[in-house]
Amino acid sequence: MAFEDELTLSELRQVEILNRLLKPGEELRPERIRGIGVVYKIGELTIREERVSTLIKLGLFRIKGHVSFAICPVCGDLDLSLNLFCPNCNSQDLEKVDLVIHYECHYADDVSRFRTPKGLVCPVCDKPLKVVGVDYGRPGISYRCSTCMSVFQFPLFSLTCSNGHVLRLDELALHRSPVLVYEPSGSRQATAVSRVLSLIEALSSHGYRAEPFAVLRGQLSHLEHVVDALVHKGEKRCAVVLIDNSVASPDTVSRLLTLALDLQVPVVAALSTGFANNIAKFLRLEGNLEERIGSLFPRELVKVIVYSDEKELLAKLLNALDAI
């Protein structure tokens, strides 16, 4: 991955996981988890919405639509609790009832009060209730207040956020979270990560143990560096850096040398043909690209290979590893 396109290690790991777990065109919908907020679930991975926004900016996702979540307008809290009240006395001591109404005497109560061994019988007038819609009605689930004993279908309600703000329905604010479609083909970063993962798989098939996006601490600076691949060959290790950006810069050359000197492990710099040509033109190098660019570095520290496609990259990388 080109130095100019470097992502943080956290972002690299996320892009790597996305490549493994998601298929192009797969949809992700936001979910609200109490105490956490809005998240997106990818397999067993849970990513917060604010982290996903970075992946959207990288071009990995297309926004298909939005899901709106109610939030507290005072503090922005997503964790809202529903409070129910009796519309008659404002009590919160309520019970759910499966309401039955006897049309003749107008008595209404839970169906359990009407059940007898002989069927439904009104507990007030003792008359049997035989035909629904004629003798009695079943309006469905309702509520009964245990304080004033009134029965009603729709209680009053308010909402309370976890910070204690009490709200009416018309006072709520809305937070809109995007519905995402995974489309990595338009992202250079996703393409670069996919190339690294394919290379790791190919190296494994040839008997090499390789780690994608390995973190190495510099021997001189003690800073952490992320390399595209760390290949193990017995007791030896080799760092692989893929560079395919189209903008040639002397910084790329100097940073490769700095990386190799700091890590004190051999570095294979794999340059795309387009980038190698640009470097050669920029530095006015003539002749064989690999030899000319490779001559800029100590050979025991940096091995330069130039590739035109993935097949050539693997072949030349295997040759370079064999020579270490």
Kindly list the strands in the beta sheet with 136-145, ordered across the sheet, starting from the edge strand earlier in the chain: 108-110, 94-102, 136-145, 151-152
Which CA distances in Å does 168 have to 39, 72, 73, 154?
26, 10, 11, 15
Helical (H) or strand (E) element with 40: strand 37-42
Residue 43 burial (C-beta neighbours within 10 Å; 0-12, 13-18, 19+): exposed
Residues 102/122, Cβ–Cβ less than 8 Å: yes
Q: Spell out the per-residue pLDDT of the chain, length 324, in tens.
A: 444 445 555 566 667 778 778 888 999 999 999 888 999 998 878 888 988 887 787 778 889 999 999 999 999 999 999 999 999 999 999 999 998 999 999 898 889 889 999 899 999 999 999 999 999 998 888 899 999 988 888 999 999 999 999 999 999 999 999 999 988 766 566 677 778 888 988 999 999 999 888 888 889 888 888 888 999 988 889 999 988 765 556 677 788 888 889 988 899 999 988 888 888 888 788 888 888 888 888 888 899 999 999 899 999 999 998 887
Give start-end residues of each CATH 3.40.1350.10 domain in the chain.
Answer: 189-322
Find all residues with CB under 8 Å of 96, minimum gap 6, and list them: 141, 142, 143
Q: What is the 3-state secondary structure (H, E, C) of 56-110?
A: HHCCCEEEEEEEEEEECCCCCCCCEEEEEECCCCCCCCEEEEEEEEECCCCCEEE
Q: Hey, what amino acid is at 184?
A: P
Q: Find tokens 């100590």 and name the residue.
A: 298
Q: What pLDDT shows up at residue 20? A: 78
Phi, psi of 24 (to 5 degrees): -55, 135
- Which secondary structure element, helix H or strand E, spans residue 191, and what is its range? helix 188-205
Q: Measure the CA–CA gap between 254 and 279, rounded to whole angstroms.
A: 12
> What's the start-to-end Cα distance of the chain, in Å?
22
Residue 60 tokens read as: 């990995």
The helix-helix angle for 9-21 and 188-205 (nearest 10°) equals: 70
- How far is residue 283's CA from residue 3's CA, in Å, rounded to a whole number? 18
What pLDDT does 5 receive? 45
CATH code of 189-322, in short, is 3.40.1350.10
Please tell me the predicted confidence (pLDDT) of residue 9. 55
Pull the structure tokens for residue 55: 């992946």
